[in-house]
RNA sequence: GGGCCUAUAGCUCAGUUUCGGUUAGAGCGCACGCCUGAUAAGCGUGAGGUCGGUGGUUCAAGUCCACCUAGGCCCA
């Protein structure tokens, strides 16, 4: 009986399922998008004359994607999709970084396992295949995330055209004179006869000799550091600076002694000599050197020692004292033996102080014939001989053995040495590269967040010249010819570019260089400008992979029709201030004079729920695939949108569980809107704001304001603001307020009557607002909603032929309500909140159940009563009660279950069960039920039933 | 060891800039109710915070300064 009238209601109707079943649905949606080419449809729906160029930083084609790469790609996808949704054509050309050591390593391991002996071209082919394999794997993984782009035509740094562009940019640096050949110490394996990159070096403990050596210090200026009486005592004793080293074999290549400018040094009279050592280390040294009767003559800061001329302990040459702030007091003497050809810091000191970068060794680590005492000896052989010679000269103060962490070759496990080698560099100064880059950082690029500016600025400010050469196979060759007779390099820029141009037309790109005979490459009649020789060999170094990716502006942004130089945005993790942002800036400033990007956006790292980095050893690594398998890629996308990615972002089971909850809420809200819009045709049924009641007007305006907030948040890349706004919109604005309020009207009133159509008009605005905000983030769900829209709705939202939500460009009006009207309505909502509070104890007692059971009496000051008496406002509807009465302050008797408001001065609310019978159709309680000619229903419902078509 | 960054309810975020100024906010989750016409839904109420720590400036500090702790990125 009670359900007799259910069929006469307009209840929601939709085929949109409550349960998302993302794991199963997402692959279907991806297929659908591929079939209709949704990416292309999205791009084509945006005008070509308003472009937005996000240039993809290429991930390395090795291994599976991880949460960091997923975060990065999803952020890019949100940027691209939101740009299109706002009407800017943003195309996305994904790329991969293919050359370089990690791949060459893996391939080398395979080759070793298979016991093969391959030449350069064969190795390169294996590397190429390896990169392709992982590129394909990653491409599928990225697509699975719902990321849109030209996946069937990505850029790759190993494609012939790309390699040609890279080599050509090198030619440009050669032309301007910025590129040069120079010396630099690198890790060197004497048994493999090769340079090793940092990644190829393994550290483990080894035993080394540890020796303390005195360097004669016969400098007149030294005596001036002593007070007069001390100088007298020292007058007849020879002076020495004392150093410590664990690599005796580098003593022959010593060029200086380094002191820390701020440490205090003691000048000590002991054993007939005057010694300089760091004061703090003196006690340990006294024991070690058995200085029983020592006397400290003076204490001076390291800076006072600068420029004193010590002498090499066995060669007749100076070894000046220089200053360096890497000197420590952990061990040794506080004075550091400096061999610029054999250590990284030593090298930098050498460059800074104009020392010779001296490293007279061959590829096997044997001293050259020119080296007195040690010619032909390798490191192991030279160590005892150096110690022997120092002992003979009387300069060895102590000798021990020490076990410490020492670098070894990853391949042959032998200890490695530092050796100065010939490398190629791009000068930071020659053409003012450093200064121009710093200017661009300060004036021409927007850094988001703003501290990115300072970070990259200090890196560029302090970096040494860019070493662009690697002694490897898998990369773009450094195009140059080396004179066999005098080791001079020929690298004319135009010639380099002409060789680079050939790579474009070779099926394997720069393999052209490796397979070519030098005769076919060298310019006709080339003569060495230095020695007049004509015997040249090809340079066999390759380029640093950062040079490869750093020239993507040339290979991709300038060339692809989807892009335009300079790019609007580069978007990567904050590690790329040193990496890709850095190399791209130098390459572009160096060859184009302008930065390659207008803005640079960085995101943080993905860390676990406690803020710790993910690592295999801690066992806290979460793979994207795990999350996709459990929750779906959509939840991962929602996570990206929810967190503030400018800082490190946390992920954990709890965080994901919360996001699943949020997802369900958003989905259900959309479902409710769909259900209640099933019979709505915007073209025919929309009601003007001017004809709506105050509730509809307020919420229509509120939705438009929320939309404005979200559109702005997208523009400023504050996606977490979009997320919070969208979620609050669903939870509070819609579910807890508007939807709850207008359910009555939607279900009960005349299907085609103005009151119901007005509510639907607001729902229609809500749905469009949601779809617009969801599409870039919750792409799968937005599309699913779009596909469930009834035809008239879809036609109203998109061009008639739009087959995908990404073809939609909603046109909604700006917010329209005057502030005064908003404020007035909000003061009424504040009373509503108090009414809820008042009803709670009555409900707890069981006197009333749902809100509609209640009858409210509101007593308030006249001013507030005026506000409540708003034209056209049905307070019973707004408060969702069956009866509501207002009364003035002059009433003194207490109200039933009275609540005296703490929040609003003078407000009292009484709550009682409403009087009358429950209308079987609308469930309101009314005194006139059954009295309007229909059994069990109120007069309002009787009227509606009367008008129903039979 | 150096440069840059981060720290506000169990979780995700507001509030800090240009102006330091009532009782530090939201949503989720949680607890307790209600509803059964959004139903593996929906509504209501409530309890949760020494604003990482210490010290300083000030009439007044989540907000400004110094130091410390924990964590992250990049270097050494």
Residues A210-266: tens digit of each pLDDT: 888 888 877 777 777 777 777 777 777 788 888 888 888 888 888 888 888 777 888
- CA A344 – C1' B7 distance (Å)? 36
Rounded Cα gap, residues A170 and A498, in angstroms? 12
pLDDT reported for residue A800: 62
Q: What is the mean pLDDT of residues A735-755?
A: 97
Q: Which of A317-321, A517-521, A849-853 has the lowest mean pLDDT?
A: A317-321
Residues A518-568: tens digit of each pLDDT: 999 999 889 988 888 889 999 999 999 999 999 999 999 999 999 999 999
- CA A145 – C1' B13 distance (Å)? 25
pLDDT reported for residue A760: 98
Q: Is the pLDDT of residue A74 over 80?
A: yes
**Side-chain half-sphere exposure of A68, counting CA atoms within 13 A:** 21
DSSP A613: B
- CA A69 – C1' B38 distance (Å)? 38
Residues A21-71: tens digit of each pLDDT: 999 999 999 999 999 999 999 999 999 999 999 999 999 999 999 999 999
Residues A791-818: tens digit of each pLDDT: 999 999 876 668 899 998 888 999 999 9
Residues A638-658: tens digit of each pLDDT: 999 999 999 999 999 999 999
Locate A8 and state its tokens.
């006469």
Does at least one atom of strand B sit less than 7 Å from the CB of A740? yes
Q: Which of A341-350, A477-486, A674-683, A733-742 has the lowest mean pLDDT?
A: A341-350
Looking at chain A, the whole-number percentage of residues with pLDDT higher than 70 is: 98
pLDDT reported for residue A546: 94
Q: Is the pLDDT of residue A2 over 70?
A: no
In window 596-615 of A, residues with CB < 7 A from nucleic chain B are: 604-605, 607, 609, 611-613
Rounded Cα gap, residues A400 and A404, in angstroms? 13
- State how far the alpha carbon of A164 is from the alpha carbons of A181, A477, A494, A502, A800, in Å: 22, 10, 14, 7, 45
pLDDT bin (cut points 50, 70, 90) of residue A285 is: confident
pLDDT reported for residue A192: 67
- CA A666 – C1' B8 distance (Å)? 27
pLDDT reported for residue A200: 64
Q: Which of A38-47, A308-317, A699-708, A850-859 has the lowest mean pLDDT?
A: A308-317
Q: Name residue A536's beta-bridge partners.
A: A483
Q: Are A705 and A815 within 8 A, CB to CB?
A: yes
Report, in ranges, which bases of strand B sit under 7 Å from a protein C-beta.
3-6, 10-14, 26-29, 32-46, 70-76
Q: Are A619 and A576 within 8 A, CB to CB?
A: no
Q: Name residue A323's beta-bridge partners.
A: A259
Average pLDDT, chain A: 91
Does at least one atom of strand B sit less than 7 Å from the CB of A6? yes
Q: Are A40 and A791 within 8 A, CB to CB?
A: no
Rounded Cα gap, residues A308 and A312, in angstroms? 13
Pairing relationship of beta strands A481-483 and A536-538 according to DSSP bridges: antiparallel
Locate A195 and state its tokens.
């340079």
pLDDT reported for residue A1: 41
pLDDT bin (cut points 50, 70, 90) of residue A447 is: very high
Q: CA-based Rg of chain A, rounded to a whole angstrom?
A: 39
For residue A609, give the nucleotide whose C1' atom is nearest its CA. Answer: B11
- Of A816, A821, A804, the C-alpha closest to A707 is A816
Q: How many CB atoms lie within 10 A of CB A518?
A: 12
For residue A648, give the nucleotide whose C1' atom is nearest its CA. Answer: B72
pLDDT reported for residue A411: 65
What is the interface pTM, i.e. ipTM, of the complex? 0.96
Q: What is the mean pLDDT of residues A177-204?
A: 76
Residue A202 DSSP SS3: strand
pLDDT reported for residue A899: 94
In window 444-463 of A, residues with CB < 7 A from nucleic chain B are: 451, 454-455, 458-459
Rounded Cα gap, residues A439 and A161, in angstroms? 31
Q: Are A180 and A208 within 8 A, CB to CB?
A: no
Q: Name residue A654's beta-bridge partners.
A: none
Q: Are A473 and A195 within 8 A, CB to CB?
A: no
Rounded Cα gap, residues A104 and A471, in angstroms? 12
Rounded Cα gap, residues A798 and A358, in angstroms? 72
Rounded Cα gap, residues A502 and A416, in angstroms? 38
DSSP A250: G
pTM: 0.91
In window 275-314 of A, residues with CB < 7 A from nucleic chain B are: none
* Residue in the block written with tokens 């040294």: A285
- State how far the alpha carbon of A118 is from the alpha carbons of A48, A123, A472, in Å: 49, 6, 14
- CA A667 – C1' B43 distance (Å)? 18
Rounded Cα gap, residues A460 and A437, in angstroms? 8
Pairing relationship of beta strands A179-189 and A194-196 according to DSSP bridges: antiparallel
Does at least one atom of strand B sit less than 7 Å from the CB of A534? no
Rounded Cα gap, residues A389 and A394, in angstroms? 9
Pairing relationship of beta strands A854-859 and A309-311 according to DSSP bridges: unpaired
Looking at chain A, the whole-number percentage of residues with pLDDT higher than 90 is: 67
- The protein residue nearest B7 (Cα–C1') is A611
Residue A572 DSSP SS3: strand
Rounded Cα gap, residues A580 and A583, in angstroms? 5
In window 805-844 of A, residues with CB < 7 A from nucleic chain B are: 833, 836-837, 839-840, 843-844
For residue A721, give the nucleotide whose C1' atom is nearest its CA. Answer: B13
Q: What is the mean pLDDT of residues A623-632?
A: 97
pLDDT reported for residue A908: 95
Rounded Cα gap, residues A479 and A166, in angstroms? 11
Number of residues that this document lists for chain A: 950
Q: What is the mean pLDDT of residues A708-734?
A: 96
| DSSP letters spanning A584-595 | HHHHHHHHHSS-
Does at least one atom of strand B sit less than 7 Å from the CB of A545? no
């Amino acid at each position: 009986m009670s359900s007799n009238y259910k069929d006469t209601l307009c209840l929601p109707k939709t085929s949109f399922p409550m349960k998302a079943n993302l794991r199963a649905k997402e692959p279907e949606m991806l297929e659908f998008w591929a079939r209709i080419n949704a990416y292309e449809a999205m791009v084509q729906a945006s005008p070509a004359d308003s472009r937005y160029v996000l240039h993809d930083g290429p991930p390395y084609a090795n291994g599976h994607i991880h949460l960091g790469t997923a975060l990065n790609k999803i952020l890019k996808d949100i940027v691209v999709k939101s740009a299109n949704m706002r009407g800017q054509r943003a195309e996305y050309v994904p790329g991969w970084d293919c050359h370089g050591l990690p791949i060459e390593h893996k391939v080398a391991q395979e080759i070793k396992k298979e016991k093969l002996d391959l030449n350069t071209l064969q190795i390169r082919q294996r590397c190429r295949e390896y990169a392709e394999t992982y590129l394909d794997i990653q491409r599928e993984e990225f697509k699975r995330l719902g990321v849109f782009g030209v996946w069937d035509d990505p850029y790759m740094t190993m494609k012939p055209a790309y390699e040609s562009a890279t080599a050509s940019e090198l030619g440009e640096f050669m032309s301007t004179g910025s590129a040069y050949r120079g010396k630099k110490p690198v890790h060197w394996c004497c048994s493999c006869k090769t340079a090793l990159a940092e990644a190829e070096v393994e550290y483990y403990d080894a035993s080394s000799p540890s020796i303390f050596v005195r360097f004669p210090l016969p400098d007149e200026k030294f005596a001036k550091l002593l007070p007069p009486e001390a100088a007298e005592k020292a007058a007849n004793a020879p002076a020495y600076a004392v150093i410590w080293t664990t690599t005796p074999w580098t003593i022959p290549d010593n060029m200086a002694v380094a002191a820390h400018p701020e440490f205090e040094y003691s000048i000590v009279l002991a054993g007939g000599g005057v010694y300089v050592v760091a004061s703090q280390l003196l006690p340990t040294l006294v024991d070690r050197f058995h200085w029983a009767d020592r006397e400290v003559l003076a204490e001076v800061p390291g800076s006072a020692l600068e420029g004193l001329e010590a002498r090499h302990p066995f060669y007749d040459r100076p070894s000046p004292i220089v200053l360096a702030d890497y000197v420590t007091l952990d061990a040794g003497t506080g004075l550091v033996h400096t061999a610029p050809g054999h250590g990284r810091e030593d090298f930098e000191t050498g460059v800074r102080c104009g020392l010779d970068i001296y490293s007279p060794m061959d590829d096997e680590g044997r001293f050259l014939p020119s080296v007195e005492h040690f010619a032909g000896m390798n490191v192991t052989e030279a160590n005892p001989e150096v110690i022997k010679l120092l002992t003979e000269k009387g300069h060895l103060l102590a000798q021990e053995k020490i076990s410490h962490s020492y670098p070894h070759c990853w391949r042959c496990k032998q200890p490695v040495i530092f050796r100065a080698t010939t490398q190629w560099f791009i000068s930071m100064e020659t053409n003012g590269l450093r200064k121009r880059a710093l200017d661009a950082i300060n004036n021409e690029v927007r850094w988001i967040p703003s501290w990115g500016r300072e970070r990259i600025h200090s890196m560029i400010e302090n970096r040494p010249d860019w070493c662009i050469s690697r002694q490897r196979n898998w990369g773009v060759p450094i195009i140059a010819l080396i004179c066999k007779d005098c080791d001079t390099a020929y690298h004319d820029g135009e010639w380099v570019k002409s060789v680079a141009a050939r790579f474009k037309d070779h099926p394997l790109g720069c393999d052209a260089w490796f397979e070519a005979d030098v005769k076919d490459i060298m310019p006709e009649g080339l003569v060495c400008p230095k020695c007049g020789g004509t015997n040249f060999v090809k340079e066999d170094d390759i380029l640093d992979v950062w040079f490869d990716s750093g020239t993507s502006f040339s290979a991709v942004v300038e060339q692809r029709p989807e892009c335009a130089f300079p790019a609007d945005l580069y978007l990567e993790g904050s590690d790329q201030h040193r990496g890709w942002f850095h190399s791209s800036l130098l390459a572009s400033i160096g060859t184009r004079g302008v930065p390659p990007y207008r803005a640079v956006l960085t995101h943080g790292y993905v860390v676990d729920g406690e803020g710790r980095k993910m690592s295999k050893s801690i066992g806290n690594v979460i793979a994207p695939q795990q999350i996709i398998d459990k929750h779906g890629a959509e939840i991962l996308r929602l996570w990206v949108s929810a967190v503030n990615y400018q800082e490190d972002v946390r992920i954990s089971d709890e965080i994901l569980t919360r996001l699943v909850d949020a997802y369900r809420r958003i989905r259900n809200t959309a479902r409710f809107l769909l259900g209640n819009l099933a019979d709505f045709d915007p073209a025919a049924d929309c009601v003007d704001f001017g004809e709506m009641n105050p509730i509809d007007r307020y919420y229509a305006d509120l939705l438009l304001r929320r939309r404005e907030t979200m559109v702005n948040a997208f523009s400023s890349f504050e996606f977490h603001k979009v997320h919070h706004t969208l979620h609050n919109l669903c939870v509070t604005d819609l579910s807890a307020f508007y939807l709850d309020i207008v359910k009555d009207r939607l279900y009960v009133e005349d299907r085609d009557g103005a009151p119901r159509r007005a509510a639907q008009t607001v729902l229609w605005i809500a749905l469009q607002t949601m779809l617009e905000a969801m599409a870039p983030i919750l792409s799968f769900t937005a599309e699913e909603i779009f596909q469930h829209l009834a035809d008239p709705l879809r036609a109203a939202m998109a061009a008639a032929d739009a087959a995908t939500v990404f073809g939609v460009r909603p046109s909604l009006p700006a917010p329209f309500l005057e502030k005064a009207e908003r404020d007035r309505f909000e003061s009424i909502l504040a009373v509503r909140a108090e009414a809820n509070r008042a009803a709670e104890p009555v409900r707890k007692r069981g006197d009333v159940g749902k809100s509609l059971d209640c009858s409210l009496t509101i007593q308030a000051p006249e001013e507030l009563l005026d506000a409540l008496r708003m034209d056209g406002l049905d307070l019973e509807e707004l408060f969702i009660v069956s009866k509501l009465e207002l009364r003035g302050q002059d009433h003194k008797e207490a109200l039933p279950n009275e609540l005296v408001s703490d929040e609003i001065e003078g407000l009292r609310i009484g709550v009682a069960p409403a009087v009358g019978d429950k209308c079987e159709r609308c469930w309101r309680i009314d005194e006139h039920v059954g009295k309007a000619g229909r059994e069990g229903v109120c007069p309002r419902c009787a009227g509606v039933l009367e008008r129903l078509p039979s």
